[in-house]
């Protein structure tokens, strides 16, 4: 019988870059002419936001934010190494990287034996040209995949009524998209190497808010669109939860030991739309945190999709998949970083085997 370890974590770009660049995405918003003029003045921000920005443009807050989350990454990696999985399945989203106008599947299992990755590539969300790992930005590596297990999961899900797509190669992208790449990067924050084969499992978290090519490349927020021209929605939370639950059942029926990871930050400042100053919905995220600390993550299944969208928690669907897989399990919160200026609240959690 198979065994399961569960991890929830972030793939936010902030920890890849030096502390002085952690607030770059907020700086982009301040320079954006579409940001209300009054909201470019810190005196008009919420008190918590002003406190983080301080008199050093968030540098001291960045150091605290890094310390909080990196401690969680290291604890999660220690648990992963102690568990010694045969493969690591990662639920992550695609932000107009591999799937574009010609096809956007609700789910896709990448069943590949070898997966090319640009682990240290720069991002539009930072002005930084260097990373904290001292690695060249153009370094391309191949991570081990697990075609056999990916194929088996896709087959059994389809036979169970989940019409998932599967892929043996990339569609538009040349390398794995950042949601999966930074998950691996942060689990290997101390650069020990990452020997575990991975199965990236795409979830179309953005749905009707799917990004056009220039989305927030200059710090812009999501624009309102003609609803008749919007893409279809993301899969509903209840379906993500049930899919995660079935994935866990399939693994338990197999001979494999597997770690399953839900990878995302929680509320995103550029997705909330309702805060003129541009910050995450910290109150909505606190409610999720209370659920997690109380091991009440089964509640996430029945939250209306629009509730997540209004709070800018689009990517949280990756955690909802994890919640389904971890139904009935105890959750240990390893780290939680609440923020107003670093784009998103971030959590690392463990569901022990």
pLDDT digits (tens, 9 = 90+) for 52-70: 999 999 999 999 999 999 9
Q: Please, which pLDDT band fits residue 218 given cuts at 50, 70 and 90? A: very low
Q: Is 95:177 a contact under the CB 8 Å cutoff?
A: yes
**Contact by Cβ (8 Å): 29, 341:** no
Q: What is the mean pLDDT of residues 26-55?
A: 92
Check residue 214 and give its pLDDT. Answer: 47
pLDDT tens across 273-309, in order?
889 888 999 999 999 999 999 999 999 999 999 999 9
**What is the reported pLDDT for 346?**
98
Q: How confident is the model at residue 222 (pLDDT cuts 50, 70, 90)?
A: very low
Half-sphere exposure of 286 (CA within 13 A, CB side): 5
- For residues 64-90, average pLDDT: 98
Minimum mean pLDDT range among 5-14, 105-114, 207-216, 274-283:
207-216
pLDDT value of position 109: 98
Q: Cα 244 from chain centroid?
A: 16
3 state SS of 14: helix
Strand order in the sheet with 87-93: 165-167, 107-110, 198-203, 87-93, 257-263, 3-9, 346-351, 332-337
Q: What are phi and psi of 145, to 5 degrees?
A: -105, -170
HSE-up (13 A, CA, CB side) for residue 194: 26
* Structural tokens at position 131: 């990373």
pLDDT average, residue stretch 155-175: 97
Which domains does the chain carry? 3-343 (3.40.830.10)
Rounded CA separation 63/70 (Å): 11
Torsion angles phi and psi, residue 4, rounded to 5: -130, 140
Task: Tell which residue, 271, 342, 265, has the closest CA to residue 23.
Answer: 342
pLDDT number for residue 216: 42
pLDDT at residue 228 above 70? no
What would the two tokens of residue 24 be? 């770059």
pLDDT at 226 over 90: no
Predicted local confidence at residue 215, as pLDDT: 46
- Does the pLDDT at position 321 exceed 90? yes
Reported pTM? 0.95
The pLDDT value recorded for residue 175 is 97
Distances (CA, A) of 193 to 134, 141, 184, 284: 15, 12, 10, 36
Q: What is the pLDDT at residue 202? A: 98
Angle at 335 between CA 329 and CA 338, to 5 degrees: 120
Contacts of 208 (CB under 8 A, 6+ apart): 230, 231, 232, 233, 234
Ranges 27-36, 103-112, 155-164: which has the least confidence: 27-36
Give pLDDT tens digits for 16-29: 999 999 999 999 98
pLDDT average, residue stretch 83-95: 97
pLDDT tens sequence across 99-132: 998 999 999 999 999 999 999 999 988 999 999 9
Q: Where are the beta strands (DSSP E) in 87-213?
A: 87-93, 107-110, 114-117, 141-144, 165-167, 198-203
Does the pLDDT at position 209 exceed 90? no
């Amino acid at each position: 019988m198979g065994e399961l370890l569960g991890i929830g974590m972030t793939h936010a770009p902030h920890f890849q870059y030096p502390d002085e660049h952690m607030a770059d995405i907020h700086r982009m918003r301040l320079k954006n002419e579409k940001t209300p003029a009054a909201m470019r003045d810190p005196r008009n921000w919420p008190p918590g936001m002003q406190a983080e920005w301080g008199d050093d443009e968030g540098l001291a807050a960045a150091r605290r934010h890094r310390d909080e989350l990196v401690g969680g990454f290291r604890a999660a990696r220690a648990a992963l190494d102690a568990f010694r999985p045969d493969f690591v399945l990662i639920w992550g989203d695609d932000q107009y990287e591999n799937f574009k106008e010609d096809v956007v599947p609700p789910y896709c299992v990448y069943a590949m034996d070898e997966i090319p990755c640009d682990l240290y590539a720069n991002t539009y969300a930072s002005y930084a040209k260097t990373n904290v790992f001292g690695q060249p930005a153009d370094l391309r590596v191949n991570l081990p995949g697990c075609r056999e297990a990916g194929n088996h999961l896709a087959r059994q899900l389809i036979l169970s009524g989940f019409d998932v797509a599967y892929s043996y190669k990339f569609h538009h992208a040349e390398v794995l998209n950042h949601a999966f790449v930074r998950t691996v990067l942060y689990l290997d924050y101390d650069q020990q190497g990452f020997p575990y084969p991975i199965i990236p499992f795409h979830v179309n978290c953005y749905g009707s808010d799917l990004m056009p090519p220039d989305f927030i490349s200059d710090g812009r927020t999501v624009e309102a669109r003609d609803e008749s021209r919007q893409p279809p929605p993301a899969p509903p939370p209840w379906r993500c939860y049930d899919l995660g639950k079935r994935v866990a059942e399939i693994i338990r029926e197999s001979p494999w030991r597997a770690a399953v990871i839900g990878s995302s930050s929680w509320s995103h400042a550029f997705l909330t739309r309702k805060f003129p100053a541009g910050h995450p919905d910290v109150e909505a995220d606190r409610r999720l945190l209370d659920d997690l600390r109380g091991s009440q993550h089964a509640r996430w299944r029945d939250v209306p999709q629009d509730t997540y969208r209004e709070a800018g928690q689009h990517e949280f669907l990756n955690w909802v998949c994890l919640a389904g897989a971890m139904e009935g399990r105890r959750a240990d919160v390893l780290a939680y970083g609440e923020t107003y200026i670093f784009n998103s609240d971030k959590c690392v959690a463990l569901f022990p085997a």
